[in-house]
Amino acid sequence: MNKTLSIGEISALFNLNVQTLIYYDSIGLLVPAERNPKNGYRRYRFDQIYKLATIRYLHRLGYSLKEIHASYLESRDIDSTLEQLRNQSSIIRKKAENLLNTDRAIQQKIHFIEQELPNVDIDRVSIKEFPDRYYFPIGGEELLYGDDWFYLNPTVVFYKGDSKYFGAYLFDDGENTILQKEMTDSLRFSVIPAGRFLCGYHQGAYGQIYESAQRIRKAGGELDLAEISIKFNIIDQFVERDSTNYITEVQIPIIDSEEHRERLLCL
């Protein structure tokens, strides 16, 4: 067996790109035992494969190359290793939980679109009844694009007079995954009160949505309608590039009692 291995042999042994090994050398993480002064070819001692295996193992566990180089390789003993592994496990579990929560929100947005789209009838105005529905308040448009909830959940927009504010609708897909206790303890959610709503649809850019809301209000006749109207974006800029194909459901609360009116004032 050769006492040293070429960079190509090390690359093949670990299924690593040669450029990765060159980078490891450049940052001092894995420096070859020999370098030919004429052609610069690198050669590694056979026992260096154990160090490289450790590097790959730690990198696979989520340690950055900087962390591996700066501390882990130089301070490895049973006690410090176990402590660092426990800490890393905690970090990975937190990342996994965040990814799982993100996937839950993505799945709910998919379910929301798949459930709502077959019901769309642009010309129809109807009365629908809903239970309490939950949303995460975001605020004005100036806050919208910096909030992750906006990107991961269906958007709900509240119009009242000349003002509007946004929320992330926590769509109930039948499993209530987004409302699980561990996800909501540290967050403040708001409620769209249960009741009857005069509902219709708007197709097109959001700039013309006011005209659709007025059309729907007019179709309500003598119904006692709240001043506020609520818009749920079904097809938006995240799933359709052409704004003429955007679809929004407009829901206007029907006031059934003074108590209901008071609850709606909180929106």
Instruction: Quote the Cα angle for 265-210-130, to 5°.
Output: 45
What is the pLDDT at residue 75? 64
pLDDT in tens, the chain (267 residues): 568 899 999 999 999 999 999 999 999 999 999 998 888 899 999 989 989 998 998 888 888 888 888 766 666 678 877 887 888 889 889 888 888 878 887 888 888 899 999 999 999 999 999 999 988 888 887 777 776 777 778 899 999 888 899 998 887 766 544 444 444 544 678 899 999 999 999 999 998 999 999 999 999 999 999 999 999 999 998 889 999 999 999 999 999 888 888 888 878
Rounded distance between C-alpha atoms, residue 184 and residue 96, angstroms: 17
- State the DSSP code for 204: S
What is the pLDDT at residue 178? 47
In whole angstroms, what separates CA 74 from the centre of its chain?
37
Encoded amino acid at 190, one letter? S
> pTM, whole model, 2 decimals?
0.68
